[in-house]
């Protein structure tokens, strides 16, 4: 097998996989129980523990994980081992609010994140601002997946299939099966994709650690050739680690697609089992991806900037040409990479459609419309947005990790609405809105004023701290302001 790609056999396997995903979409369409928003966007609120775990897993570990994380390990070296803690932090953050949010979603019939905000705060202005933040974040996330599609197809085919064809082709498949079956199709395909990801990770480990002494030799080579990538982290790096873990943990837990999966769980027990199964996945998933980036330091040279996001597909094409066993293992990894990208992109696109349909159009131009009409409007509008994003993705200008950080800096400002809002009744609508606005303003103002990353903390995390401070202080300030008036009235 040529080292330049996977050949005709690899192409046939990918085409067969895409055909299977379309078939799942058809089956999901036939399984729908009602022509309602709850059935299309939440799969009838009937996801059991395994499917819930699989869809959470496949959605959380995306093209960013399989391409962006090895690329960042290539750029930073051994310091990037901190990435294992990112996904663990998300699982911990889920436990802060997910069980109670699920209970309320069942009682109230919630469909979108905005539905809970309407119920909890009753402020159209707050829900609007929060939804705009969520849309900006998930549009960024979707753009990252589209870019990852192009990178992986171009890299795995050895350039035979151009970047643009990967972006357009895989996006078209996602649009078709998601439009057919909604979250039911997404969750079912995620179950298949989650299994493929786990099989692919096994293939990665078999390829990168063929013998006990292999990693030791690579570590020694890195220490001798690029000592800065094997050095003990500085205090500034450690602060950056802690900041990144907090940023991703709090932001990742309030992904709108993750919140909708909390709504879609069949029961509280199914939710707890699904989240519990997620607890061990960061170690299983992130360690192999980290090792890919480290091994690439010796295998691949002179990759800088965006080019480093290609280390995974470039290594796979090399392994595919080494032996039959490595070819089969690399083929499994290739499918896992494609599955990881598509499973996240379809989830993000479905959530975007639901927010547009119910929270924007359903409250304005289509107020009072039937669920079927709202669903159709959401689909059409999300297709238009995807068309614009595809055009942007065809000319990538930022690394995948850069997109991840940008998204998280914005998304973390919504976290207090859910985590404080669930547990502390004193957080009022005015306090939450003021905190959200202040948090966003701080996040944007710091880099513009030349004070980016104060004390090594992410601008978004600093903004979130200001956000929480306002949420906590606002109700007490309101009480103090009212006391003179109360005393005068009593006099």
Domain of residue 442 covers 424-491
Residues near 53 by beta carbon (within 8 Å), at least 6 away in sequence: 194, 273, 274, 277, 278
Among 106-110, 183-187, 199-203, 412-416, where is mean pLDDT lowest?
199-203
Within a domain: 406: no
Q: How many domains does the chain have?
A: 2
Residues near 121 by beta carbon (within 8 Å), at least 6 away in sequence: 127, 417, 421, 428, 429, 432
Note the pLDDT of residue 480. 45
Cβ neighbours around 255 below 10 Å, total:
25
Phi, psi of 449 (to 5 degrees): -85, 0
Separation CA 70–CA 312 (nearest Å)? 7
Note the pLDDT of residue 481. 44
Within a domain: 76: yes
> Taking the C-alpha atoms of 341, 343, 345 and 347 in order, what is their torsion angle to the nearest 10 degrees?
-160
Separation CA 69–CA 78 (nearest Å)? 12
282 vs 62, higher pLDDT? 282
Do 428 and 384 fall within a single domain? no
Note the pLDDT of residue 318. 80
Residue finishing a domain among 401, 416, 443: 401
Note the pLDDT of residue 125. 95
Residue finishing a domain among 340, 369, 401: 401
223 vs 307, higher pLDDT? 223
Do 391 and 491 fall within a single domain? no
> Which span out of 13-17, 141-145, 150-154, 288-292 was modeled with the highest average pLDDT?
288-292
Q: What is the mean pLDDT of the chain?
A: 83
Lookup: tokens for 487: 């005393």
Do 376 and 445 fall within a single domain? no
Phi, psi of 391 (to 5 degrees): -60, -40
CA-to-CA separations, 422 to 120, 215, 238, in angstroms, rounded = 8, 46, 31
DSSP 424: -
H helix intervals, 321-370: 324-354
Do 376 and 476 fall within a single domain? no
CA-to-CA separations, 424 to 199, 258, 417, 472, in angstroms, rounded = 43, 22, 10, 9
pLDDT of 124 over the 70 cut: yes
> Which span out of 34-48, 320-334, 387-401 was modeled with the highest average pLDDT?
34-48
pLDDT of 431 over the 90 cut: yes
- Asked whether the whole model's pTM tops 0.75, one would answer yes
Within a domain: 415: no
Give the torsion sign (CA, 409, 410, 413, 418): negative
Do 199 and 318 fall within a single domain? yes
Phi, psi of 265 (to 5 degrees): -60, 140
CB 192 within 8 A of CB 17: no
CA-to-CA separations, 61 to 65, 85, 106, in angstroms, rounded = 6, 13, 27
DSSP 360: I
Separation CA 112–CA 319 (nearest Å)? 44
122 vs 145, higher pLDDT? 122
Average pLDDT over residues 439-447: 92
CB 191 within 8 A of CB 21: no
Within a domain: 408: no
Note the pLDDT of residue 4. 46
Within a domain: 1: no
Q: Which residue has the tokens 């993705």?
A: 393
CB 213 within 8 A of CB 350: no
Give the torsion sign (CA, 18, 19, 24, 26): positive
CB 332 within 8 A of CB 202: yes
Separation CA 469–CA 413 (nearest Å)? 12
Do 370 and 449 fall within a single domain? no
DSSP 47: B
Separation CA 54–CA 229 (nearest Å)? 35
Query: How does pLDDT run across 33-64, given as a tens digit for each residue?
Result: 766 788 888 888 888 888 888 888 877 777 66
CA-to-CA separations, 193 to 196, 353, 474, in angstroms, rounded = 5, 22, 45
CB 252 within 8 A of CB 60: yes
Within a domain: 361: yes
First to last CA, the chain: 92
Query: How does pLDDT run across 186-240, given as a tens digit for each residue?
Result: 888 877 877 877 887 777 777 676 666 778 888 899 999 889 888 888 888 889 8
Q: Which residue has the tokens 């989650």?
A: 194
Q: Apex CA 22: angle with CA 21 and CA 24, to 5°?
A: 65
Among 126-135, 218-227, 336-345, where is mean pLDDT lowest?
336-345
Note the pLDDT of residue 98. 92
Separation CA 251–CA 297 (nearest Å)? 30
Separation CA 299–CA 282 (nearest Å)? 25
Do 197 and 256 fall within a single domain? yes
Do 307 and 182 fall within a single domain? yes
Within a domain: 63: yes
CB 276 within 8 A of CB 267: no
79, containing H or E segment: none
Do 429 and 486 fall within a single domain? yes
Separation CA 72–CA 88 (nearest Å)? 18
DSSP 451: -
Query: How does pLDDT run across 237-276, given as a tens digit for each residue?
Result: 889 889 989 998 999 899 898 899 899 999 989 998 988 8
Do 215 and 82 fall within a single domain? yes
Do 190 and 250 fall within a single domain? yes
Q: Apex CA 341: angle with CA 255 and CA 15, to 5°?
A: 145
Note the pLDDT of residue 152. 74
Do 456 and 394 fall within a single domain? no
Among 99-108, 114-123, 286-295, where is mean pLDDT lowest?
286-295
Bridge partners, residue 265, by sequence: 47
pLDDT of 459 over the 60 cut: yes
Separation CA 136–CA 141 (nearest Å)? 9
**pLDDT-derived band at 414, boundaries 50, 70, 90:** very high
Within a domain: 308: yes
Separation CA 154–CA 329 (nearest Å)? 19
Residues near 288 by beta carbon (within 8 Å), at least 6 away in sequence: 201, 204, 205, 208
- CATH code: domain of residue 149: 1.20.1730.10
Note the pLDDT of residue 484. 43
Note the pLDDT of residue 115. 94
pLDDT of 1 over the 60 cut: no
DSSP 279: T
Separation CA 163–CA 67 (nearest Å)? 14
**pLDDT-derived band at 478, boundaries 50, 70, 90:** low
pLDDT of 487 over the 70 cut: no
């Amino acid at each position: 097998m040529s080292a330049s790609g996977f050949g005709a056999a690899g192409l046939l396997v990918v085409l067969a996989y895409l055909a299977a995903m379309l078939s799942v979409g058809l089956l999901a369409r036939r399984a729908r129980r009602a022509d309602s928003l709850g059935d299309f966007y939440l799969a009838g609120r009937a996801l059991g523990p395994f499917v819930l775990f699989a869809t959470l897993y496949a959605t959380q570990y995306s093209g960013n994980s399989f391409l962006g994380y090895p690329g960042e390990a290539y750029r930073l070296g051994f310091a990037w081992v901190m990435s294992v803690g990112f996904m663990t932090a998300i699982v911990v953050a889920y436990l802060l609010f997910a069980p109670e949010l699920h209970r309320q979603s069942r009682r109230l019939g919630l469909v979108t994140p905005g539905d809970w905000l309407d119920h909890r705060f009753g402020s159209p202005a707050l829900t609007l601002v929060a939804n705009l933040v969520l849309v900006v974040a998930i549009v960024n996330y979707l753009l990252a997946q589209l870019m990852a599609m192009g990178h992986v197809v171009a890299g795995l085919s050895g350039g035979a299939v151009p970047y643009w064809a990967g972006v357009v082709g895989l996006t078209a498949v996602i649009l078709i099966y998601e439009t057919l079956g909604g979250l039911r199709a997404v969750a079912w395909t995620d179950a298949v994709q989650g299994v493929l990801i786990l099989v692919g990770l096994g293939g990665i480990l078999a390829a990168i650690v063929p013998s006990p002494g292999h990693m030791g030799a690579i570590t020694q080579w890195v220490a001798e050739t690029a000592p800065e990538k094997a050095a003990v982290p500085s205090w500034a790096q450690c602060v950056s680690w802690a900041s990144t873990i907090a940023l991703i943990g709090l932001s990742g837990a309030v992904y709108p697609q993750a919140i909708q999966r909390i709504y879609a769980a069949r029961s509280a027990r199914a939710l707890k089992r699904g989240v519990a199964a997620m607890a061990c996945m960061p170690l299983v998933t992130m360690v192999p991806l980290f090792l890919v980036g480290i091994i690439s330091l010796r295998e691949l040279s002179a990759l800088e900037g965006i080019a480093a996001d290609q280390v995974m597909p470039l290594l796979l094409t090399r392994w595919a040409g080494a032996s039959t066993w490595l070819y089969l293992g690399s083929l499994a990894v290739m499918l896992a990479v494609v599955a990881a990208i598509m499973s996240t992109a379809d989830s993000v696109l479905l959530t975007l459609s639901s927010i547009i349909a119910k929270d924007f159009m359903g409250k304005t131009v289509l107020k009072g419309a039937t669920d079927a009409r709202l669903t159709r409007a959401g689909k059409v509008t999300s297709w238009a947005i995807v068309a614009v994003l595809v055009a942007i993705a065809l000319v990538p200008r930022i690394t995948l990790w850069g997109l991840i950080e940008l998204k998280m800096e914005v998304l973390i400002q919504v976290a207090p609405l859910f985590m404080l809002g669930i547990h502390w009744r004193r957080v009022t609508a005015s306090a939450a809105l003021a905190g959200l606005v202040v948090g966003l303003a701080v996040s944007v103002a710091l880099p513009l004023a030349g004070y980016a990353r104060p004390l090594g903390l992410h601008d978004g995390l600093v903004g979130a701290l200001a956000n929480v401070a306002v949420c906590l202080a606002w109700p007490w300030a309101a009480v103090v302001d009212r006391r003179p008036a109360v005393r005068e009235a009593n006099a």
